[in-house]
Structure 1
Amino acid sequence: MPDETRPDETRPDETRPDQTLPDRTRPGVTILVATRDRAPELRRSLAHHDAPVIVADNASADGTAAAAEEAGATVLRLPRNRGAAARTVAAERASTRYVAFADDDSWWAPGSLDRAVEILDSHPRTALLAARVLVGAEERLEPVSEQMARSPLGRPDGLPGPAVLGFLACSVIVRREAFLGVGGFSDVLHFGGEEELLALDLAAAGWGLAYVPELVVHHHPSEAGRDPAARRRREARNRLLTAWLRRPLPAVARAAASALGSRDGRAGLADAART
């Protein structure tokens, strides 16, 4: 397993931090999308965004990058699949105080980003806000949103909502400086439960993270290329790696014991051991 105390990946030369992009329409926030081979979904979702968008294309082969450019997004064509770390590359290129994440099949509800900027401006020790997620045309409440609303961490003074140490990446807005200050999303985890490591690192750096249900994100999950078993395997792997990197050994042991209880968990444990 890796011996890592803080994610510290080398970024491609074409995305050096000094190559920042002008923010032409909204002074506070840029939307960042990491994607790969999802051109149809991306075309649909980009039509809903009402802030500048940077798309980090993870070496797509289906015209995704061209579709994003046609829709008016700034596109970073990465030479290899960086997974969730592509969002970090995009954040380095942004010039706004805040960056909001979206998937290629999600978008922020009108007015939510403006409100999020207001909340963050008035809560200087809060780095991240997690929005309420509504799924599909029927707008079902995402179970993770229900869990965040019942967070056992309570609502400490100075936070605009319940404190959280987990979230869905497509539903958060974060201070760019704080996000980059802790290394962003790690290359080690790729996709699938990559949020926990970032949450732990932000909290360890003294930042607050809060669930704010008045902020809304719409998520219309695409079935293209989805493999539920592979997803469970990646999530099990990443829970173990996150525990190994940031938690005491008893927590690592508990995560490993939990993984042994299912076929996908055992496969994830094997993947983690090979990392």
Structure 2
Amino acid sequence: MARTTVVIASRNRCGSLLRTLTHLSELAAPVILVDNASTDDTVARVRREFPAVTVLESPINLGAVARNYGIRAARTPFVAFADDDSWWAPDAFERAEPIFDEHPDLAVIAARTLVGPAETPDPITPLLRHSPLGEGVAGPAVLGFLACSAIVRRQAFIEAGGFSPVLFFRGEETLLSWDLAAAGWALCYVEDVVAHHHPAAERAPDGDIVERRNAVLTSWMRRPVGRALVASLKDPRAFWAAMPRLRQALRQRRALPEHLEAQIRKASGRPRRGG
């Protein structure tokens, strides 16, 4: 019986999604697609060409929060996220599941991400591999991950509240990582668990500012006021972009444990991810 479900959130990316589903069909794992109000023929084609895939249709674009609905619909103890342009190596779940079993306090396995046909390591890979936080329960301890190459313990994800609607999309992993760690869960990078990412050549033109906006919002939601002010002043354009969501972010503000804030400061030198 399968113990890992793949959850994908997608919107108007039918071509790349069908390629992803073709690769995922080689795995003996259930797949849940949460469609973010696509206006193309995504839903019809997936239902026709991949009838084994469970399709959940959202009437609105939920961004990353769509994954929350997918994980709640899953019936396995572990969930592997994929984007509509990424998929998992054939042995990824066979490698990950025993690690979760051996470490019941492990919430997230951050996989090694190989990009494109050349299978170049994603820029985040060496940062995770050489995490300044040192060795964790199952590999280098981390406070971040790429959603498209992460496997999570379903219970931990749900207890932590999942991805935040305040952030919508891009850089949403950081807040969840901090909340999991604050609740006592471990997050580790595992080299032998592999995901493949084939991003489109064209990227959203506003992607960088959205990610920077979310970094500012995340700081205001969890970090000390002084740190949040520094983050805002260092990137005034991102702070300006965050203003429409700042009141909502502040309503969800809560302090992190002191030891975790110290770990965040230690790890904060890493650059933003590029995907």
CA distance in 2, matches of 1:162, 1:117: 18
Question: Per residue, is there more helix in 1 or in 2?
Answer: 2
CA distance in 2, matches of 1:128, 1:77: 26
- 1:64 aligned partner: 42
Give how far 1:227 is off: 2.3
Query: Secondary structure of 1:119's partner?
Result: helix
- 1:259 aligned partner: 235
Moved more, 167-176 or 65-74: 65-74
Q: Structure 1: any 5+ residue segments left out of the alignment?
A: 1-25, 261-265
8 Å CA contact retained: 2:34, 2:70: yes
Give 1:66-105 correspondences, 5 Å limit.
66-69=44-47, 70-71=49-50, 72-105=52-85
- 2:242 aligned partner: 272
Q: 1:235 aligned to 2:215?
A: no
TM-score (norm. length: structure 1): 0.85
Q: Structure 2: any 5+ residue segments left out of the alignment?
A: 246-275
Q: 1:136 aligned to 2:116?
A: yes
Give 1:1-275 correspondences, 5 Å limit.
26-49=1-24, 50=27, 51-69=29-47, 70-71=49-50, 72-156=52-136, 159-223=137-201, 226-228=203-205, 230-260=206-236, 266=237, 268-275=238-245
Give how far 1:119 is off: 0.7
TM-score (norm. length: structure 2): 0.85
- 2:272 aligned partner: none
Cα-Cα RMSD: 1.0
Query: Secondary structure of 1:214's partner?
Result: strand
CA distance in 1, matches of 2:204, 2:78: 32
CA distance in 1, matches of 2:4, 2:234: 39
CA distance in 2, matches of 1:136, 1:89: 29
Counterpart residue type for residue 33 of structure 1: I
8 Å CA contact retained: 1:29, 1:100: yes
Give how far 1:258 is off: 2.5
Number of residue equivalences: 240
8 Å CA contact retained: 2:5, 2:78: yes
> Which stretches of structure 1, 4 residues or longer, exceed 3 Å deviation after superposition?
none
Over the matched positions of the two proteins, sequence identity in percent amounts to: 50
Give how far 1:63 is off: 1.1
CA distance in 1, matches of 2:125, 2:81: 16
- 2:268 aligned partner: none
> Residues 190-239 of structure 1, C-alpha deviation per residue, up to 9 Å, x if partnerless?
11100000000100010000000111000000135x224x0111011100
